[in-house]
Structure 1
Amino acid sequence: MTLFNIFGSPSSIDRDILVFVDTLPELEASKTLAKQLAPTIQAHFQDAKSPNINFGILDNGVIVKTLKGIPDETNNAILATYNFHLQPHQLAVTHPVVRDLDAKNQRAARVILSFYSRTTHREGVKQALRGDFQAKCAMLSQLNFSVPVDFGKQATPEVDIYKSIAFQLGQSLALSEGVELYTKEDIVSYFPLFGAALRREPIIPECRQALEHAKQRFLDISFA
């Protein structure tokens, strides 16, 4: 039997799933395994939401490793959002863990920069992604979120890009204040001007400016 828990925002357009395994598969093998598991997992549900499958290792009720993302974030996100979803299996995570702010900031910077790898900033971005956190932040400081940008012809729609940017910045800034946010709804409550981005609506100037201000706060906090 495949043990998994669903987590994330109740309004997500897909279904975030953490499948518990004994050993993490390699990235390419994980894609094949996820494709094999998808029909069995989807059979539990009546809607057409596509499963977004991740893999993790559980040790004494705590997620200690994940294929994608941060283990401590995934652990606490499952605890915080488990009851928002129809769950075929019991909650596998038994208790929260202390969050790693440095790891979160590293991931936020990496995720945000990756979206700019097909813009006019691509050379600087690619170099920064190969560098350390300071190099990533230096590149972030050169980007202006308040100005529209051509993200190029890629699979990720612009509304999804801005949703991810708002989500990452919102989580990191709140965590720097000791607040853990795991749903779009919670982040909108904490950062109301992020609303258009998190709802995947056309990005209005006020939202762009809010994201730029948040980016500056993120950089200030990261090197405080």
Structure 2
Amino acid sequence: MIFHVFGSPSSLDCDIVVFVDTLPSLEEGKALAAELAPQILTQLGTGKKLNLNFAVLHDGIIVETLKGIPDETNNAVLATYGFHTQCYPLAIAHAVSRDRRAKFERAARIVLSLYSRTPQRESVKRALNGDFAAKCTMLAALDLSVSTDFGKNGAPEDVYKSIAFQLGQAIALAEGIEFYTKEAIVEHFPRLRPALQREPQTETDRQALETLKAQFLKYSV
């Protein structure tokens, strides 16, 4: 088993990509992750919570992933491998071209999913089952500046961090820039610092996310 740690150096959890010959199903992936976690924790010597993903490599390039987008995962591992203690030599040969549309669709899906336990749940669920245009219409109807109880989807600080990260990544990609860490996104979008650092959100902080959402929708056209 070969795996790499990747992502922001200051992450509270530990993102891991495990390379496999064939992707498991989602249910098989959950079981395999639970089985491999103790061994990986021992090898890394970390007490952080593990977030395991599985990927297939072909000629040094990630071509399939169980979760996320293959091109994003490939470039994220390549860009952030050096920030972490690693057990294996880097297996990624080079960066690949990004699929902007796939990133925007994923970001829209993630943000809407985070609102699936709010009073807008029914409208959000319908949008999640619709096409990209339906998702964007629902995003436009949401006001991110309004203080919200996200229910079982997590504490507000965690949810706003995820929203800021996804929207920041997508907008930067539309501008031809790739970001794979919280630190890089904060440098480019300073107003997102409180959200990305999981600080309690003020109305001003939430308004920054609403403004970012408007930029996202503008680039989605």
Matching residue of 1:181? 179
| Distance in structure 2 (CA, Å) of the matches to 1:158 and 1:17 | 25
Contact 1:14 1:49 in 2 (8 A): yes
Taking the aligned partners of 1:201 and 1:44, their CA distance within structure 2 comes to 32
> Hey, what does 1:203 align to over in structure 2?
201
Higher alpha-carbon deviation: 203-212 or 30-39 = 203-212
Q: Which amino acid aligns with 2:38?
A: P
Match of 1:193 among 170, 191, 194: 191
Deviates more, 1:156-165 or 1:73-82: 156-165
Query: What is the total number of aligned residue pairs between the two structures?
Result: 221
Out of 200, 215, 218, which is 1:217 matched to? 215
State the distance in 1 between where 2:204 and 2:177 align.
24
CA distance in 2, matches of 1:97, 1:155: 32
Higher helix share: 2
Q: Secondary structure at the match of 2:51?
A: strand
Give 1:205 deviation, angstroms: 2.1
Quote the residue 1:160 is aligned against. 158
DSSP 3-state at the match of 2:185: helix
Q: Mapping of 1:36-55 within 5 angstroms?
A: 36-55=35-54
Structure 1's unaligned 5+ residue stretches are: none
User: Which residues of structure 2 form unaligned runs of 5+?
Assistant: none
- Using the alignment, how far apart are the partners of 1:35 and 1:151 within structure 2? 27
Q: Which residue of 2 aligns with 1:130?
A: 129
CA distance in 2 between counterparts of 1:39 and 1:131 reads 39
CA-CA distance at 1:175 after TM superposition: 0.3
Q: Give the TM-score of the pair, scaled to structure 1.
A: 0.97
Mapped to 1, the partners of 2:75 and 2:46 lie a distance apart of: 26
Partner of 1:63: 62
